[in-house]
Amino acid sequence: MKAQGPLKGVKVLEFVGLGPAPFCAMMLSDMGADVVRIDRPGAHGLGPADVLARGRRSVGLDLKDPQELETARRLIASADILLEGYRPGVMERLGLGPDIALERNPSLVYGRMTGWGQYGPLAHAAGHDINYISLTGALGAMGDRDKPAIPLNLVGDFGGGAMYLGFGVLAALHHARATGEGQVVDAAIVDGASSLMASQYQLAALGLWSPERGANLLDGAAHFYTVYECADGHFISIGPLEPEFYALLCEKTGFDGQAWPADWSGKGWAQAKAALADLFKTRSRQDWCDLLEGSDACFAPVLTYEESARHPHMVERGVHVEIDGVRQAAPAPRFSRTPGAIQGSAPQPGADREAVLADWLLD
């Protein structure tokens, strides 16, 4: 597929890794960037199932070989953005650290993705998403009073990690193109996930948030912002925070909103929640969808990812696409003039070496 999107012409060099850095590279590719992966010689790919590796080309390089290392440096000299997700110090030991890279390419944006950050007492310790969001307070704020609820790896790896790395390298690219000055972007999941907690810090400053889990407006404690089980064992979600939306929910369901008001103070939440739980268990999920979906009652069924792909709203917007037999999410966000596009399935590691070297190393 011919590249298209707002990042068409931007050259990104990705040193293959796990989790958030590949997801960031995937997003940049979806927006039209020419993303080249540096894979290890002899690596075996996952084929079309490797959704995080979609839309780029691959060059296999043995970075312990001096000639291959020099090839990597020449590719760095041609890149606009470099992405790496290794522990602090690994790229330096390979001879590809920021000092060498920026000497060869002064306008390079050098994006570094880690969990703990490039410095600090934990910088060199192993960890994963669940550990990083634990330290930020994000995990401790989710779930019921008995136990935190793990939000997949969305809050750490992808929300607090990849999204902030992408935001950072594009901001730095804007600066580099205006001034010719490259720089290092230190994207740490503990930083990003903490930033995502801005709303909780704001509510806490207003006296509307407690450190106690399962006792707050947006963590499932409020009867008007939570999930309920239906008669068929499926679940629905409601979230009418505004008085007029709550009034509509009560009107449509017959719930007594006068007896159980949507009070943000927390008064009566537990009792109202029990009453609503009894009400929603009287009908199936589909019955509640027929009554409430599409209204301003702030309602949605709780779907599996398979059910989501079949929902009429998601179908009409084309949220899910199929590439080489693998269902996945389409590029986001959407652009009116320069729409992005998936540039193909994951490459076979090393398969594009000759084409990439011809494109990137014209000399």
**What mean pLDDT do residues 171-176 have?**
98
Q: Which two tokens stand for residue 333?
A: 């966000």
| pLDDT score of 91 | 97
Mean pLDDT of the chain: 96
Q: Mark whether 99 and 180 lie in a shared domain.
A: yes
- Whether 202 shows a pLDDT value over 70: the answer reads yes
CA distance linking residue 12 with residue 108, whole number of Å: 10
Q: Work out the average pLDDT over 6-19.
A: 95
Q: Is 204 a domain residue? A: no
Residue 115 included in any domain: yes
Mean pLDDT throughout 188-204? 97
Backbone angles phi, psi at 184, to 5 degrees: -95, 135
pLDDT at 43: 87
Cβ pair 180, 203 in contact under 8 A: no
Determine, yes or no, domain membership for 209: no
Per-residue model confidence (pLDDT) at position 41? 87
Exposure b/e, 227-239, CB count within 10 A at least 16 = b: ebebeeebebebb
Residues 175 and 253 in one domain: no
What is the rounded CA–CA span in Å between residue 269 and residue 243?
A: 15
Same domain, 116 and 69: yes
CB atoms within 10 A of CB 61: 21
Same structural domain, 29 and 164? yes
Tallying the residues shown for the chain, one arrives at 363
What order of strands is seen across the sheet that includes strand 183-188?
57-60, 34-39, 11-15, 81-84, 109-114, 183-188
Same domain? For 83 and 153 the reply is yes
Domain presence at residue 163: yes
On whether residue 205 sits in a domain, the answer given is no
pLDDT at 18: 86
* 41, 50, 171, 354 from 76: Cα distances, Å: 18, 25, 19, 16
141 pLDDT above the threshold of 80: yes
Question: Is the pLDDT at 19 greater than 90, yes or no?
Answer: no
pLDDT digits (tens, 9 = 90+) for 93-120: 999 999 999 999 999 999 999 999 999 9
Can the peptide bond before residue 333 be classed as cis, meaning omega within 30 degrees of 0? Answer: yes
Confidence band of 213 (pLDDT split at 50, 70, 90): very high
Q: How many domains does the chain have?
A: 2
pLDDT at 298 over 70: yes
**Is residue 20 domain-shared with residue 145, that is, in the same domain?**
yes
Q: Is the predicted pLDDT of residue 130 greater than 70, yes or no?
A: yes
Q: Taking residues 269-275, report their average pLDDT.
A: 96
Query: The CATH number of the domain where 96 resides is what?
Result: 3.40.50.10540
- Give a yes or no: residue 310 inside a domain: yes
Q: Does 307 lie in the same domain as 169?
A: no
**Shortest CA distance to 109 belongs to which of 160, 175, 194, 20?**
175
**Residue 1 — pLDDT band, cuts 50, 70, 90?**
low
Token pair listed for 267? 């008064």
What's the confidence (pLDDT) of residue 363? Answer: 54
Q: Residues 62, 66, 67, 71: is their CA dihedral positive or negative? A: positive
Q: How does pLDDT run across 331-360, given as a tens digit for each residue?
A: 999 999 999 999 999 999 999 999 999 999
- Looking at the fold, whether 80 and 185 belong to one and the same domain comes out as yes
Q: Are residues 100 and 191 in the same domain?
A: yes
User: Which residues are part of the catalytic machinery?
Assistant: 128, 157
Q: Output the pLDDT for position 265.
A: 86
Q: What CATH number corresponds to the domain at position 265?
A: 3.30.1540.10
Environment class of residue 280 by beta-carbon count within 10 Å: exposed (0-12), middle (13-18) or buried (19+)?
buried
Angle at 26 between CA 20 and CA 28, to 5 degrees: 105
Instruction: Give a yes or no: residue 324 inside a domain.
Output: no
Q: Are residues 309 and 338 in the same domain?
A: no
- The answer to whether residue 149 is domain-embedded is yes
| Residues 302 and 184 both lie in one domain | no
Let me know whether 95 and 190 are in one domain: yes
Give the domain range for residue 284: 223-314
Per-residue model confidence (pLDDT) at position 126:
96
Tens-place pLDDT, residues 42-84: 888 889 999 999 999 999 999 999 999 999 999 999 999 999 9
**Helix 353-360 with 66-78: angle, nearest 10 deg:** 50
